[in-house]
Amino acid sequence: MPTAQPLRTGDPRTLGPYALAGRLGEGGQGVVYLGTRDDDTYAVKLLHGPVGDERAAFLREVELAKHVARFCTAQVVDAGFDEGRAYIVSEYVDGPSLAREVMLTGPRRGGALERLAVGTATAIAAIHRAGIVHRDFKPQNVLLGSDGPRVIDFGLARALDAAATVSGRGVGTPAYMAPEQITASAVTGAADVFSWGATMCFAANGAAPFGQDSVAPVLHRILTAPPELGLLDGQLRVLVAACLDKDARNRPSSRDLLLALLGDSGGLPDSVLRSPPAHVLSASGVAVPAPRTDISGPEGPEGPGPTGGSVARSRPLAEPEATGAASGYRLPATPDAPAPSGGGRRAARRAGVAVVGALVVSVAILGMLLGPALSGDDRMPQGGGAAGPGATAATVSPVEEATPPEDEGRRGPGEPDPPVAKPARVPVPPLAGLSRAAAVRALQRAGLVAGQVSLVDSGRKIGLVLGSRPGAGVDVEKGAVVSLRVSAGVPVPSLAGMGREAAEAAVAGAGLAVGPVMRKCGPEPDGRVLSTSPEAGSRVAGGTPVALTVSRRGVEVPSVIGRSREDAAGTLRGAGFEVTVQGQVVADESQVNLAIAQSLEAGGCARKGAAVVVTVGLAPQSGPDPSEPTGKPTGKPADKPTAAPGARAKP
């Protein structure tokens, strides 16, 4: 799984056509991001500072770096500029650096150390073959992928150093620098060989050969002191010591270093190296006669020599065919071999000589026709080859003589050898868009094995397969392991404390949608994000809406509707507000003496001490309005009594 950390405030969300999903690391030269484009994953390094006048040189170095062999390096695929700062796009290697792995799991030993040495030396040789000097080879620039070590950051030293110098972050790693880099002498591929030796010391011992303390003492020891080789032993110790020679002229070239690591034949004679393995001979079931070195005579197997005398020659035990497979080896004809059926030995020999003669003539004609076209190519024999002067029948082993007698009835002269059985191959099925479980089942149906699963930040649905390695349609051997890249979703960014506009931009930049915005009263300034839903760090599919809770400065106004007059006033005063109560006649007797309205909206925010008017329901009057007369005017003297209040008037 990519060990990417969330993007920080101020990090770009895109660089050119590459969407950035997280941080992979940061060093003196720049920040490395996990980038995606068309569902492919890349490592994108954004340099800390501008490259200045080195811009043209930077682009040239990038073009050179693209041509370095890919089998042991993280291939550079693209580069560009963002607001004057250069970025470099390379193949993403899902694995830790050698520096981190040694610090976590300890030094390398035995075969693991030797594989690391061969893989990294091969990378340096490939880089030098492309005309590039790495200039900064160190454990941090060796990534341990699932398919072996990969070397990164090669060939870009001038631009990277310029960016690091401008940013004031320092250049290089002193513990792995060659003496000529310290003294500002001419830097060649020998400097990379020195750095390789120092890196192998670190891999074997967990420490650099000249220490890793303060810069000045380390540089002094590189120039004057012998290296500490520690636990290195055997041939590797001898090679590393040669690579750490302080005089660049005494170090092996990267090619010689690689050949020395691979070893030689150990002094074995050529006749042994040309012979097939013993298990091939034992599998044939045919007794092999001892090599003859004393055959003579004009009609011996070797024929007459150039002076007419006998020639003593030694034949290899077997002659390998082009395939090199066990079934492709055939025993050469000897005088002791059984004579072909239907004729004597002399007749068979004459027939063989005739066939050989025809072959010699054919080869000579082809040589004359193709010689000018080949123009000196080494595909035709030079000097006295099969068609050259002095060639005899004994110098060619025709198919008729090499074929055992028991095969004559099944395969005629000139027929090709039977095909060699090859392992069955099947195409990798298309897996993108399937769930992880469905992809594993598809691989099993194809006769393949599901390998490592890498979780990748992606806007696709969580658990969805993004791709495979090898990719869909690639022919592989049956039973091969296929690794999967699976979507891990998109992490919700941390937005707490950001302004609303900045938070909404960050949500959109992460490939998510802005959800509902809710406000919460508090002492924070207006518009600050307090929390999100889903929470920060949660992984969701791309496009998922993220709800924001935003601050609004002030005190939340409580709702008092439906409470009694005393309770409503007490609640508002307890929240810090000034309360005024007014009455209003209501037709509904159930609302009498209860709060039916408040001047500040409940749930809103208001400053502490603000005035709130509470409206309380009043009962309607049960008698006549005192301002109106109690009876009809009659115009009669006032001494006539009137009806008592509440009495029914007579008609």
The pLDDT assigned to 423 comes to 73
The pLDDT assigned to 285 comes to 45
Nearest CA-CA partner of 183 in 222, 126, 128: 222
Alpha helices in 1-106 (DSSP H): 55-65, 98-105
Domain locations in the chain as residue ranges: 14-262, 491-553, 556-618
Q: pLDDT digit string (tens) for 5-31?
A: 888 888 899 998 999 988 888 876 788
The pLDDT assigned to 135 comes to 87
- Give me the architecture of the 491-553 domain, per CATH: 2-Layer Sandwich (3.30)
Q: How many CB atoms lie within 10 A of CB 185?
A: 12
Give me the amino acid identity at 49.
Answer: G
Q: State the CATH class of domain 14-262.
A: mainly alpha
Low-confidence ranges of the chain (pLDDT < 70): 1-3, 28, 52-54, 155-172, 264-422, 621-651
Q: pLDDT digit string (tens) for 564-575?
A: 999 999 999 998
Sign of CA dihedral 12, 530, 609, 615: positive
Q: How far apart are CA 634 and CA 219, in angstroms?
A: 128
Task: Identify whether the C-beta of residue 34 lies closer than 8 Å to the C-beta of residue 4.
Answer: yes
Q: How many CB atoms lie within 10 A of CB 372?
A: 8
Q: Helix 157-167 vs helix 55-65: angle between axes, to the nearest 10 degrees?
A: 140
Q: Same fold for the domain at 14-262 and the one at 556-618? A: no
| Dihedral angle over CA of 118, 121, 122, 127, nearest 10 | 170
- State which CATH number among 3.40.50.2300, 3.30.10.20, 3.90.700.10, 3.50.50.60 fits the domain covering 556-618: 3.30.10.20
Q: How far apart are CA 414 and CA 254, in angstroms?
A: 47
The pLDDT assigned to 155 comes to 58
Nearest CA-CA partner of 516 in 493, 549, 543: 549
Q: What is the DSSP letter of 183?
A: T
Q: What is the DSSP letter of 629?
A: -
Which single residue is written with the structure tokens 């030269």?
Answer: 29
Respond yes or no: is residue 136 known to be catalytic. Answer: yes
Catalytic residue among 78, 94, 136, 153: 136
Q: Which residues contact 411 (CB under 8 A, 6 or more apart)?
A: 403, 418
Which single residue is written with the structure tokens 């594989």?
Answer: 115
Instruction: Label the pairing between strands 142-145 and 85-91.
Output: unpaired
